[in-house]
Each structure stands twice: as structure tokens, then as C-alpha cells.
DNA sequence: TGTACATCAGTGAACGCGCGTTCACTGATGTAC
DNA sequence: TGTACATCAGTGAACGCGCGTTCACTGATGTAC
């Protein structure tokens, strides 16, 4: 039992997870070192292991945190028919494309997560399940048939669209990818 | 001018690009070292720079080669209405999900490509343009309206679906993702 | 045809560097009495 | 209230290791004559 209250340390931990989220989404998991992650949080590398057992453990915490943020955005959307549509418009905006560090962790990291430690993939699985549920819940109000299947189709289309728009170097093609993805996504809403 | 014909060296170069394709799709760009790439090709690390100016240059060559392969598969499909459907069924199969090293480079590497050197991204852009064209050409035979937009919607959905199916650790969820993606994709074919 | 030589694909050790991780230490904070 | 002490978040140098890249070299291949 600590003689100190843990509040300050937990705050530091939360700050590391937050700044690491931005950095990992921008530079990738393999592309970011522990020292960079710690200096983003205003600390030196040595303090890292007072908060996390390993880099993978931090990445798992970051993935869980980032998906929780996405979940909460979706979960607190107004219950009208247009709010999911607005979310999609923002998701497929050039602003989201151009700022991965502030955006969706799936769009930024999904193929890297598939190649990473099981502890990270399990955190991802738990987080994305909740997101699938909340999207499916929104969709069923429009059309009750196979809401979950359509939620999955929508989700994978959004992620793939932003990834492709980020990968290509031709700005016109990139814009076209976003526009086409938006048309496809809105058609899926019915 | 070489006193030797270059045939043998070109063959070695092609072998490196081929084996590197498999390895990069499995372990990622940042996740694979030059020594591993060379030993896959049955060579030692030092020979690498007789064939490529840098690791990025090889990765660009691999991306171009991999996309060419995908393009050729699509381009040589029979001209009947069912062949694109068969391609999609294979693309969204558990076999493709479970063997990224033999599969689509976009599904394996798209978010990493978005974070990589411009030389790689330019190779990707040129290659995916050709693939978009060939898919759009196939779609227009079914329905001429906005074939390119629908081709892009299909492509991003396929890529996102396989990535998500690979990332999650729950086998039932992974299968469900593939099934839902297949339903969505076939609906888009009309 | 035979021999001396030029070429060059490939070898493998080494370079400096940044990685993930460890650890002896510091100094501010809170406790004991 | 004051002082000696225990705690512990954070420091920063160091560890072994693999990275991308370089380079002196080997030895098989083809050329010259």
C-alpha cells in the first residue's frame, strides 16, 4: 500500500496514453520509439517502465483508449436520423484524411494491429466490438434487417476509404476516393 | 556497357522483389530488415546494394510488382458477369485472410504505405490507378452509371474487410466480418 | 586451344545509430514523533 | 513546530541488439590474343 495517493501518477499515465495516441497514429507502432513517446509527454525514457510493463502494454492501453474515444463519439450522437450521416461526412472529410494524429485509430493503424502482439489485438477486438454494437444500434432504427452486417460493411468501407485517400500522392485521386466513399457509405444508410 | 549480359542479374533482382513481396506483406515494411529480405532470396545482406539504391527503392519496386500482379489477375478474368463475383468471393475468403504473404498488398500494407517515403507512395498511386480502371471497366458492363465511384467503393470495402478480419482475435467475429463484407460487396455489384 | 587478365555478382565483417529495457541515483513529498 | 527519515516519480546513462548502409574481398565468368 502506497503512502501517497496515486492520483498524480495516474494523471501522468493518462497523459502518456493520450500523447502516445497522437504519435502512434501519425508515425505507426513500429515507427515510434519509447523515447519519442515519453518526450511527447514531457518525460524522459527511464520513467516509462514505472507506468507500463513493456511497449506492447502501452500500445494495448492506447488502442483501448482510442477506441473508447471513438465509441463515445458515436454513442453520444443525437438520436435523430441525420447524426450518423454527419459523422460519416466528417469521417470522410479531407480534414480527417490530413490529420491522422487526431483521427480514427482503425484508419491509422489497422493493418499494423493485425501484425502485432496478441495483447494489442485483444484490446482492439474488445474495443471494436463495442463500436460495431453502437453503429448497429444506430442502423437498426433505419432498417432492422441485418443491422450488424450492414454496420460492419459501413465500418470497413470508412476505414478502407481513409487509408486509400492517405496513401495516394495524387490530390485529385485522393479527393475522388473520399467522395466515392461518401457516396457508397450514404447509400448504405439507405 | 557491361561485358556480360545482364540476364542473370535481372533474374536475381526479380527473385528478391518476389520473395520480398511475401515477407513484407507478412511482417510489414518497418517490421522487416534488409538482411531478412536477402536471406529469403538466398543471398547475403551485402549484395542488396548491387540491386537497389536503398530499402525504400526496393519497397517501391515491390509495391509496383505486387499491384501489377493484382492488376493482371483482374485483367485476365473472363468477361462473363460472374468472374468478378468469383474474385470477390476469393478475396474475402478465410484463405486470403489467413495468408497475407500470398495476398493483396493493399490489404496487407495500406496504412503503412500512407506513412512511408514518397517514392513508395508514388509507386502505389500508379499501380492502384490501373487497378481502379480495370475494376471500373468490369463494373460498367453491369451498370454504366458512375462505374469508377462504385469501383472505389468496392475496392476500399474489400481492403478494409480483410484488414479487420485479420486484426481481431475472435475467430467468430473474424468470420462474421468476412461474411458481412461479402454481402456488402455483392450488393454493390448490383 | 591455352593462358593471362578484366569484370563483376555476391560475401561477410564492420560502421554509426536508435531501438526496448534496466538501473543506480536524485530530490521533492509526506510521515513520525 | 521542527527535524530526521522513508517513500517513490522521475532522471539519464548504459546495456545488448538489430537496423540500414558501406566496403575490401573472393571467385566464377567471359575476353583477348
Query: pLDDT tens digits, residue range A90-108?
Result: 999 999 999 999 999 999 9
Helix (H) or strand (E) holding B186: helix B171-189
Contacts of B160 in chain A (CB under 8 A): 110, 155-161, 163
Query: What is the share, in percent, of chain A residues with pLDDT greater than 70?
Result: 94
Length of chain B: 190
**Residue ranges in chain B whose pLDDT is less than 50:** 1
pLDDT computed for residue A5 by the predictor:
63
Residue A1 has pLDDT above 50, yes or no: no
Among A28, A110, A150, the residue with its CB nearest the CB of B167 is A110
Task: Check residue A45 and report its DSSP letter.
Answer: G
Rounded distance between C-alpha atoms, residue A99 and residue A108, angstroms: 10
Q: Among candidates B155, B151, B183, B90, which has minimal Cα distance to A188?
A: B183
**pTM of the predicted structure, to 2 decimals:** 0.95
Burial of B28 (0-12, 13-18, 19+ CB in 10 A): buried
Burial of A128 (0-12, 13-18, 19+ CB in 10 A): buried
| CB-based contact A173 B129, cutoff 8 Å | yes
Identify the residue whose cell numbers are 499515465. A13
Work out whether the CA dihedral A126, A130, A135, A139 comes out positive or negative.
positive
| CB-based contact A111 B110, cutoff 8 Å | yes
Cell of A78: 443525437
Answer whether A89 touches B (CB < 8 Å). no
Neighbours of B95 (CB within 10 A): 10
Among B107, B110, B152, the residue with its CB nearest the CB of A180 is B152
Stretch A71-85: mean pLDDT: 93
Burial of A140 (0-12, 13-18, 19+ CB in 10 A): middle
The Cα-based distances of A175 to A93, B6, B59 in angstroms read 9, 42, 25
pLDDT computed for residue A141 by the predictor:
57
Residue A118 has pLDDT above 80, yes or no: yes
Task: Enumerate the nucleotides of strand C whose atoms come under 7 Å of any protein CB.
Answer: 7-14, 18-24, 29-31
Neighbours of B46 (CB within 10 A): 10
Q: Which range has the worst mean pLDDT, A43-52, A147-156, A169-178, B73-82?
A: B73-82
Answer whether B64 touches A (CB < 8 Å). no
Amino acid at each position: 500500500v502506497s503512502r501517497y495517493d496515486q492520483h498524480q501518477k495516474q494523471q501522468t499515465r493518462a497523459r502518456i496514453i493520450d500523447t502516445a495516441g497522437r504519435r502512434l497514429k501519425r508515425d505507426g507502432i513500429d515507427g515510434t520509439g519509447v523515447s519519442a513517446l515519453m518526450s511527447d509527454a514531457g518525460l524522459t525514457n527511464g520513467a516509462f517502465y514505472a507506468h507500463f510493463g513493456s511497449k506492447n502494454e502501452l500500445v494495448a492501453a492506447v488502442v483501448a483508449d482510442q477506441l473508447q474515444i471513438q465509441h463515445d463519439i458515436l454513442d453520444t450522437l443525437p438520436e435523430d436520423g441525420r447524426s450518423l450521416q454527419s459523422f460519416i461526412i466528417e469521417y470522410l472529410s479531407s480534414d480527417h484524411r490530413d490529420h491522422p494524429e487526431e483521427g480514427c485509430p482503425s484508419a491509422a493503424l489497422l493493418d499494423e494491429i493485425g501484425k502485432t502482439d496478441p495483447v494489442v489485438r485483444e484490446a482492439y477486438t474488445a474495443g471494436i466490438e463495442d463500436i460495431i454494437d453502437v453503429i448497429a444500434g444506430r442502423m437498426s432504427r433505419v432498417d432492422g434487417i441485418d443491422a450488424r452486417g450492414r454496420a460492419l460493411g459501413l465500418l470497413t468501407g470508412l476505414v478502407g476509404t481513409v487509408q486509400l485517400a492517405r496513401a495516394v500522392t495524387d490530390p485529385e485521386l485522393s479527393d475522388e476516393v473520399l467522395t466515392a466513399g461518401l457516396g457508397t457509405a450514404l447509400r448504405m444508410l439507405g
